[in-house]
Amino acid sequence: MQDKNLTRRGFIKTASGLALAPAMGWLPAMALAADKQIVVGTWGGDYQNLLQQIINPLVAKAGVNVVYDTGNAVGRVTKLRAEKNSRRGSMDVALLGEVDMYDAERSGTLERVDAKKVPNLAHAIEALKTPYSIPHIFSAMTLVYNTEKFAAPPDSLQVLLDPKWKGQVGFSDILYLYNAVFVGLGANGTTKDFEGGKRFLSKLKANAPRIYPSNEAVAAAFKSGEISIACMWKARALQWKDSGLPLGFAIPKEGSVPVSFEAAVAKNSRNKDASWAYLNAMLEPEGQVGFARKMGYAPTVANATLPDDLKRVGFTDAEVKLLHGYDLKGLTEAKADILEFWNKDFKAGL
């Protein structure tokens, strides 16, 4: 599973169509609740809110109580590594993008997926399955723009370098890795050489881009008029557009990069059965459709049939041809270098 380049395209084409514990007396009930409590490490904001709204009720039917440990992806991977040799870790389930998940797997921190305990995995699109994680949702990077400022959709990453948009280009800090790989297509047209992203960002710095701490902060900047264009997941663009913001989105002619967000069980999880139940709930068709409707992310299971009004979360054949896969091993090995560049060279002084 080091390179998803070839299989991912077939996957995207397929996907585009696409309670309380029983009363047993006070002490036994408390013990049962403790036995079925899990800690899920995730991002905050909209994603966590939807996990609570959509996934929590599903696992509650099995008596599973969920506590969320909110933070950035780097912190989650670091925690998994730091607690690797602990008999009982502080995190049962880790939610990460595919690159960070691969990084965590390389460190030997993740349990191998037990398909018997995740029956819904049988419906997952084959190209996204890994031995160590389940795919939850997916999308791809786009240029998101204010339709009141742009007469026509931007068709190239080069628009980010146009002095006309000085001080009006936005990025989410937590997406530093995908931002660098995406804009790198504007420098050398490939995701195999990650130096392209550095070169493009170095040029872009002269245009005074704005860096925001979260995806939600980028949305707020669009709403206030502080920015006119940003690099962001298509799913987020759909979500923000549906909320009433005057936004459009486009995959530039240089192409884009897809992403899947995954879930895995820590090897030293304190409650693996409840953790597997949580992963299974993430693949329930009703939950998948719920995330498509609320966040604009495409389902990863074939039995999550999208109604006509949600078909837009998928990708056309023309868009699929513009999606570039990448080597997970190579990107993972370059991640620390990209982060250092992003923080010390790109962000510094902005």
Into how many domains does the chain fold?
2
- Is residue 339 pLDDT above 80, yes or no? yes
Give yes or no for residue 212 having a pLDDT over 60.
yes
pTM of the model: 0.75
Residue 335's pLDDT is 85
pLDDT at position 8 over 70? no
Question: 92-111, pLDDT tens digit by residue?
Answer: 999 999 989 999 999 999 99
Same structural domain, 24 and 155: no
* Pair 102, 15 in one domain: yes
Residues 39 and 132 reside in one and the same domain: yes
**Quick check: is 276 in a domain?**
yes
238 in a structural domain: yes
Same domain, 166 and 253: yes
253-283 confidence digits (pLDDT tens): 999 988 899 999 999 999 999 999 999 999 9
Do both 249 and 293 map to the same domain? no
pLDDT at position 19: 31
Residue 319 lies in a domain: no
Q: Using pLDDT thresholds of 50, 70 and 90, give the confidence band for residue 36.
A: confident
| Mean pLDDT within 197-216 | 96
Whether residue 204 lies inside any domain: the answer is yes
With respect to residue 280, please indicate whether it lies within any of the assigned structural domains: yes
Domain that holds residue 42: 5-138+259-314
Residue 57 predicted with pLDDT over 60: yes
**Residue 334 and residue 221 in one domain:** yes
Range 315-330 average pLDDT? 83
Q: Give start and end residues of each alpha helix (H) in 73-175.
A: 73-82, 98-106
Domain assignment present for residue 27? The answer is yes
Q: pLDDT by residue (tens digit) across 75-86?
A: 999 999 999 999
Q: Does residue 185 share a domain with residue 67?
A: no
Tell whether 211 and 337 lie within a shared domain.
yes
Whole-angstrom distance, CA of residue 264 vs CA of residue 109: 10
What is the CATH number for 203? 3.40.190.10
